[in-house]
Structure 1
């Protein structure tokens, strides 16, 4: 009896000694959680994303120009939105941006699935091709855009090669009918490696037992792809679609390097229009409003995909 009392007293004393004095249970529990490791990331996100977004919204609700960019911004409410939404150029730029997104979706899905299927087999050739694709994807847009601007110039190597075969030179970047689609093709070329890598990862994650079972049941190649592989890739393709639309709506570098929105306004997409309005026309509040409208358009496209992917994951 005495020994048990001594043991209880010893355990109680040891436990009391291990507890930090004067700290409530909530503080001790919080100190043991890894949430504090997120504080630096949250701080960087707030400083480089949340705060600029707050400034953008505030600028879109104010009258901001070169004369008062540093100083007080008069509040005008939704007046800038009324002006921007009533401008035909905004809707033309939105239509061009949607066209770019549609071309990117088609090229990323069709060519991405074909390329990923070819590269799903291991080997030295596959590794070499993947290395080249990663290099292409990692190139800064200003570098690849400048290279294509040189290649597609009216007197560039591509038109020179066409002249050797007796074909007339093509105004790839200076024709109002071709400029938008020429730059869109450049963007699709730069975005394709990422799509191939993402889809290839999804293909490699398809359970092999499903493919073997389909082969034993006598399912052909196309039936296996349509009935087994594509349903397994649906979440991956949904995320890729969101990223592709986001990429199309923020593609500013290629347009600025190659055409700067020209000829005229034929390659003015939403980000290019926002930049030219704010920094060439010095209408800062209007440019901020266009940028905010672009963000809202992206949200309208992205939210349904995100909800659909979450439902599939929870099913």
Structure 2
């Protein structure tokens, strides 16, 4: 027979932190350890001959070489252009689309469904589709030919390729910004808009003096997320142009990939990846602060 004390004994209580151990271990194995290896590779001399063996330590020599060359800063400049295009699209066109979709109805539901579908498409699928449309003999040049215009080298011209791919990236990111801003618009109390209308404010004045100030935290967080997305955007550029023609679409992520897996200079590829990661980390700091401020308010 069991003792009565056994029946009176309650369940074993463990601190909540114990249940985080599996998640922490998984995160360390899949995220922290690869970052450690990446930083170690950027501080070493690694190539195809010693990728499996010992890595000679070279300190900051790889960073000095990368920062002293023009290729890195040209890639940073191209990435900045992509960031500018995405910011203009996500903030301006995203706000315009969110304003149109703010009214609930069947048409808005259909448009939102299409936007979610576009946003959920794998980049390799949408990128391949746009590559087919934007080639010199693609459908878009075919439409231009129907109206008497000559073909445009959307992807084959060094002057057009970066803008073309940036436009495709902005097209793919626009649904997310529109959905975020639509949620922010729907969260604004209707009493404020009615009070502004009673005070004689027109639609434009209400948008600029009432709606936009209330959306400022959402716009700020969306701008930071957009910049982070631009600095880590790789898939569309790889699928559509592979960094070409020449180096016209060689952004930071593309440059890191090419150095590591095309020229097999693992050290330089890791160095560019770390530099790109530092840009993302710098952009993540104001994002975290904004989220904390929003939670506290």
Question: TM tier, shorter chain?
Answer: over 0.9
- For each residue in 1:93-139, what CA deviation from the matched residue of structure 2 results, as whole angstroms up to 9, or x when unmatched? 00100110011001111100000011011111111110100000000
Return closer, same or farther for 1:177/1:38 CA change in 2, 3 Å cut-off. same
1:129 and 2:120 matched: no
CA distance in 1, matches of 2:190, 2:30: 43
Aligned 1:93-132 pairs, distance under 5 A: 93-132=75-114
Count of aligned positions: 294
Who is 2:52 aligned against? 70
Unaligned runs of 5+ in 1: 1-12, 21-26
RMSD over aligned Cα, in angstroms? Answer: 2.0
Who is 1:161 aligned against? 143
Return closer, same or farther for 1:205/1:158 CA change in 2, 3 Å cut-off. same
Who is 2:9 aligned against? 18
CA distance in 2, matches of 1:221, 1:155: 45
- Contact map agreement 1:274 1:291 (CA 8 A) in 2: yes
Who is 1:217 aligned against? 199
SS at 2:89 equivalent: helix
- Contact map agreement 1:270 1:290 (CA 8 A) in 2: yes
CA distance in 2, matches of 1:49, 1:306: 19
SS at 1:103 equivalent: helix
Aligned 1:133-152 pairs, distance under 5 A: 133-152=115-134
Deviation at 1:241, TM superposition (A): 1.0
1:255 aligns with one of 237, 242, 264: 237
1:206 and 2:197 matched: no
- For each residue in 1:155-197, what CA deviation from the matched residue of structure 2 results, as whole angstroms up to 9, or x when unmatched? 1111112112211111110101000000000000000000101
- Contact map agreement 1:239 1:306 (CA 8 A) in 2: no
- Contact map agreement 2:221 2:290 (CA 8 A) in 1: no
Who is 2:281 aligned against? 299
Who is 1:173 aligned against? 155
- For each residue in 1:241-273, what CA deviation from the matched residue of structure 2 results, as whole angstroms up to 9, or x when unmatched? 111111111111111111100111111000000
- For each residue in 1:194-252, what CA deviation from the matched residue of structure 2 results, as whole angstroms up to 9, or x when unmatched? 01011111111112222222223332222222222112211111111111111111111
CA distance in 1, matches of 2:17, 2:109: 39
Who is 2:34 aligned against? 52
SS at 1:281 equivalent: coil
- For each residue in 1:43-70, what CA deviation from the matched residue of structure 2 results, as whole angstroms up to 9, or x when unmatched? 3322221111111111111111101111
CA distance in 2, matches of 1:215, 1:160: 48
CA distance in 1, matches of 2:92, 2:180: 13
SS at 2:159 equivalent: coil
Deviation at 1:40, TM superposition (A): 3.4
Kindly name which structure, 1 or 2, has the bigger radius of gyration based on alpha carbons.
1
1:236 and 2:227 matched: no
Unaligned runs of 5+ in 2: none
CA distance in 2, matches of 1:213, 1:167: 51
CA distance in 2, matches of 1:131, 1:158: 25
CA distance in 1, matches of 2:195, 2:146: 55
1:87 and 2:69 matched: yes
CA distance in 1, matches of 2:128, 2:147: 26
1:271 aligns with one of 228, 246, 253: 253
1:226 and 2:204 matched: no
SS at 1:35 equivalent: helix
